[in-house]
Amino acid sequence: MTSVRLGDYVTEPVEEQLATTPYGAMGGLELRDFLAGWEELHRRALAKLEARVHPSAFVHPSSIIGDDVILGPGVRVHEFSTVRKGSVLCAGASVGFNCEVTHTFVGESSVLGHRIGLNSTVVGARAHLSANVMVAAISMWNQDMRHPQKEIFFRVPGGLYRCGTWAFGALIGDDVQTGSGISLGPGVALGRGCRVTGGVLMAARSVPARSVLSTPGATDARVRRRR
């Protein structure tokens, strides 16, 4: 059976607040096992925390933070953004203008730019996602997307990886950087240090570490002198 281990993609939180919770050991988990037990893991993490929103975190008054969301030290959530449904923003993470972050883990010092939409996604440390990056978690091939039943899977070198759930967007490794206007998922795994240029659309696929993803339109632009 093919394997996708979280620790091969993302660094566990090392800041004390989350490192002492079950999230501090998430790197040893198989992706499908993490997804299956995520809600219980999050419940146990909440039970260990004295404060789920660290006193040093900044949340703009126009933003919405769910009652079960964890915000680490130095986190910043800017105007008109929503963070909900058991999401975790680790120490130093930043969420820009008008983002929607749902059931997502964001690693330490990662940056979400403007108008980012993430659902059922894991983002590693020091990642930087630019404007208008969307990660979908539910297959459009469900008969009724309001009641999804199709399991998410993606292609890995050994074959197909079955996620065991109908809701999974992407596993985005440490130090990944993207351009703008990108659509990922459902079912994407980006290795550490990948670069994704603007306009990329991709689902159901894994990408090795330090790869560059681009589209023909991003590289074949014509430049000529004006008359």
Question: Among residues 85, 71, 104, which one has the least CA distance to residue 171?
Answer: 104
CA distance 220 to 142: 35
- At residue 158, the pLDDT reads 87
Q: Which amino acid is at 51?
A: A
Mean pLDDT of all residues in 58-81: 98
Question: Among residues 178, 163, 183, which one has the least CA distance to residue 211?
Answer: 178
Q: What is the mean pLDDT of the chain?
A: 95
Of 91-95, 137-141, 154-158, 219-223, where does mean pLDDT reach its minimum?
A: 219-223
Whether the predicted pLDDT of 106 surpasses 60: yes
Question: Among residues 93, 139, 138, which one has the least CA distance to residue 113?
Answer: 93
**Dihedral over alpha carbons 141, 112, 213, 182 (to 10 degrees):** 50
Confidence band (pLDDT; 50, 70, 90) for 218? low
The rounded radius of gyration (Å) of the Cα atoms in the chain is 17
- At residue 2, the pLDDT reads 86
User: What would the two tokens of residue 76 be?
Assistant: 């910043």
CA distance 134 to 123: 13
Q: How many percent of the chain have pLDDT more than 70?
A: 96
Q: State pTM to two decimals.
A: 0.95
Confidence band (pLDDT; 50, 70, 90) for 221? low
User: What would the two tokens of residue 37 be?
Assistant: 């037990």
CA distance 215 to 226: 26
Confidence band (pLDDT; 50, 70, 90) for 175? very high
